[in-house]
Structure 1
Amino acid sequence: MSFGDPNNPYGPPPQQPPAAQYGYPQTPPGVPPQVPGYPQQVAYPGYPAGNALPQTMPGLVTTARVLLYIVAGAQVLIGIFALLGAATLNDASNASEDTFGDNAFSDIGHDGAGIIFVIALLFLGLAALSITLGVKFSRGGQGIRVTTMVYGILGAVFGVLILISAADAGSSAALVWALMWIGFGGVMAAAMIAPSGSAWFNRPRY
């Protein structure tokens, strides 16, 4: 018998697979080791490893979103009342024409009704913009952030103009209205400028 014969009792023992170390089973090369008692996570292309924690909207951004909805409600009310005012003024002008014929007062009434109607459409359009921005906060990107920031700055400037007019006229109601616009616009702009707001709109989306 030769040493190459597997049945040779005097030949070298056959090679055995390497023993498992520390009691854990060996895995083939290229396969990640598995820990007993813990299921292995399957990696999917394009997704980060491990379980992703749920993303929470920062508090300041949430406040800006709520303010957008409040502003939208006020704008809807203003738009509706303006439409009613325009319709009432237009009916009064038509009645004046029916009674006195074409006159200067009826012309002024029609012109005023047209201006109020345009203002009503403006506020209703702004209300739609406010609602759209608030809804897009959850999935929007930098475009929503920049638009909200500019929107807040313009609202604060509008409040400053009302504040100046209220100070000249001595109207307390206009003063409250001006402070509301300044506060709301300032918070919205600050939320978008803050690092937490920038990070929220720059976050990865899967």
Structure 2
Amino acid sequence: MRSGAPNSSYGYPGHPMGMDMPGLLRGARVLLFVMGGIQLTVGVLVGSLLAGIVANAGGGIADVVPTVSVLLGLGALSIILGTRFATGGGGVRVTTIVYASLMIVACLGGLGLGGGFGLIFTGGPLIGLACGGIILALMVTAQAGAWFNRPR
């Protein structure tokens, strides 16, 4: 805990200013932002490539929408979770744990199937597996529990 300076403009003198986010959670937050950026980029690239392939094969754009929607939705979820770390409660922590677990499962499936499912979470299954494992490990620490269960 840090305390405000005397005559601070942030409240009455001596008022506790709050906790700083632990460094481990900052790392998890950065990984969520990086993963979100990769997922959004891959979603746009896959969408444009699939749209071209499907259009040349005589299909419609509606065939591409589910895959691209999943990629873009997961990228947005990753960024939203990262932004909610500062103010979020236990729900943000649980959602991040579930998200990282699903990332690990999808990337393991991608490794077993030759890289197909790993593209859902990242540009490749090994990157997603490493990042998902790190995020999961950081979210189950005691520091993470204390941060997300702190009084607001």
Task: Please report the TM-score for the alignment, with normalisation by the length of structure 1.
Answer: 0.59
Contact 1:155 1:181 (C-alpha < 8 Å) held by counterparts: yes
Could you tell me which residue of structure 1 aligns to residue 16 of structure 2? 52
Identity among equivalent pairs (%): 37
- In the alignment of these two chains, the number of paired residues is 136
Match of 2:84 among 114, 124, 136: 136
Larger radius of gyration: 1
Higher helix share: 2
After TM superposition, the structure 1 = structure 2 runs for residues 54-203 of structure 1, keeping only pairs within 5 Å, are 54-93=18-57, 106=58, 110=59, 114-166=62-114, 177-203=124-150
RCO higher in structure (CA 8 A, sep ≥6) = 2
Measured after TM superposition, the shift of residue 74 of structure 1 is 1.0
Deviations 1:106-126 (CA, angstroms, capped at 9, x unpaired): 3xxx16x54433111110011
2: CA distance, partners of 1:80 / 1:163:
23
Deviations 1:17-50 (A, max 9, x none): xxxxxxxxxxxxxxxxxxxxxx9xxxx9xx9x94
**Any gaps of 5 or more consecutive residues in structure 2?**
1-5, 116-122
How far the C-alpha of 1:145 sits from its partner, in A, is 0.4
Task: For residue 21 of structure 2, give the secondary structure of its aligned residue in structure 1.
Answer: coil
8 A contact 2:54–2:63 mirrored in 1 = no
| Contact residue 152 and residue 186 of structure 1 kept, 8 A | yes
Q: Which residue of 2 aligns with 1:103?
A: none
TM-score (normalised: structure 2): 0.78
SS in 2 for 1:180: helix
Distance 2:48 2:66 in 1: 12
| Counterpart code for 1:84 | S
TM-superposition CA deviations, 1:129-178 (whole Å, max 9, x none):
011100000000000000000101111111111222349xxxxxxxx922
Q: Give the residue type in structure 2 aligned to 1:61.
A: L
Cα distance between partner residues in 1 of 2:38 and 2:106: 15
